[in-house]
Amino acid sequence: MTDTQTIADGTNSNVVVSVDAMGGDKGPGVIIAGLLRAVHTHSNIRFLVHGPQAVLAPLIDKHNLEEFCTIVHAERTVSMDDKPSQVMRHGKGTSMWSAVTSVKQKEADACVSCGNTGALMAISMVRLRKLAGINRPAIAILWPSFGPNGSNVMLDVGADVRADESDLLQFALMGASYSRNGFAVKRPRVGLLNVGTEEHKGRAELKAAHDLIKESAESGQFEFVGFVEGGDIPSDRVDVIVTDGFTGNVALKTAEGTASFIGTALRQSFKHNLLAKLSAILAYGPLSRLKRTTDPRRVNGGVFLGLNGTVVKSHGAADATGVAAAVGLAYRLGSAKFSTKLAARVASVNGFAEDREEDGN
């Protein structure tokens, strides 16, 4: 492991991404194929690839990735059905546990897994621990949008949690920092998800959070646009959308369901009769362009915020393109030293408030 440590220590400019090669629905072949794509884009990327040596070595060999990859042998795999509580206690020896541990031991700058979300969060909590001052870590995702980056940040989408006003404030500050470091948005526009944009609307904790976030905008180096609605999530009004994990998770899955509904209807309408089939051939260009704009694989990668280290959760069903997108995100955050900057911001007086470094966390 000495070589890799040298790399991660920053003694040269390589960025090391720790990869759980076993968690995805499509197996390790797709994940290694994703690494190949990432190497084409980022020549100074290096990988610690976690999983059974006997499975991974031939795949890495096949793609001629030996000089980019170091295999870290891990015999066991976390399955999609494993309970987070079980994995937390008995997960040692799995590729997921091993991949997160490389970040803890500072051998890697960030970690990527396509595995079980609950298990990955549980292992990350146990191994990396919450940042001091953070009550609830959050999962931030990228949402295809009309904004300048082609995607907005939304958090939390972590499902089970109910967030109070101080949690929502922390989400706003972490989301702004993520937007700044991951996507070079100098002064992110932050919105709080609600059922109307009027200040009197919504639940009590949302009104309290509205005021807290508003007060912190100046010191947190972001712009607060106030309440936003579901329809604003893909808009250019906002860069970061803040909500509790339950609402965020429902919104995300509803949007995926809607996109899939429209996609299916589109395919059916182009198969309706011979003329329709013919026009589908001629419309190949525009339809491919549509797919590129709205393709969720393009923006694959949920980031766990609020831990001592950067963990990127890729979609379980990601293909090589999706894996490359998640790995690219981990690379970008690793290069930006996001984890260190976020920790510094959190550690600063008044929960971020007094931190005004020139470069911005």
- Distance (Å, whole) CA 143 – CA 150: 8
106 binds a second copy (CB under 8 A): no
**Least separation, in Å, of the C-beta of 209 and a second copy?**
14
Q: Between residues 49 and 251, which has the closer beta carbon with respect to a second copy?
A: 251
Q: Between residues 186 and 231, which has the closer beta carbon with respect to a second copy?
A: 231
State the residue for tokens 């990350």.
124
Identify residue 317 by its one-letter amino acid code: A
1 binds a second copy (CB under 8 A): no
State the residue for tokens 């109910």.
162
Considering only residues 9, 89, 146, 357, which one is a binding residue for a second copy as defined by CB under 8 A?
Answer: 146
Q: Between residues 115 and 144, which has the closer beta carbon with respect to a second copy?
A: 144
Strands (E), the chain: 15-20, 45-51, 69-73, 110-113, 138-144, 151-155, 189-193, 223-228, 240-242, 302-305, 311-313
Considering only residues 80, 184, 276, 317, which one is a binding residue for a second copy as defined by CB under 8 A?
Answer: 276
Considering only residues 278, 317, 356, 357, which one is a binding residue for a second copy as defined by CB under 8 A?
Answer: 278
H helix and E strand count, the chain: 13, 11
Closest listed residue to residue 330, CA positions, set 107, 21, 38: 38
Considering only residues 61, 66, 256, 357, which one is a binding residue for a second copy as defined by CB under 8 A?
Answer: 256
Piece of the chain touching a second copy by CB under 8 A; list 108-116, 209-217, 239-247, 313-321? 239-247
State the Rg of the chain over Cα. Answer: 21
Considering only residues 94, 249, 308, 310, which one is a binding residue for a second copy as defined by CB under 8 A?
Answer: 249
How crowded is residue 284: how many other Cβ atoms within 10 Å of its Cβ?
Answer: 10
Considering only residues 57, 65, 126, 280, which one is a binding residue for a second copy as defined by CB under 8 A?
Answer: 280
Binding map of a second copy across residues 294-333, x = CB under 8 A, - = no contact: x---------------------------------------
Enumerate residues 115-144 that contact a second copy by CB under 8 A.
144
Cα dist from 278 to 270, 272, 292, 352, whole Å: 8, 11, 22, 58
How many binding residues for a second copy (CB under 8 A)?
Answer: 60
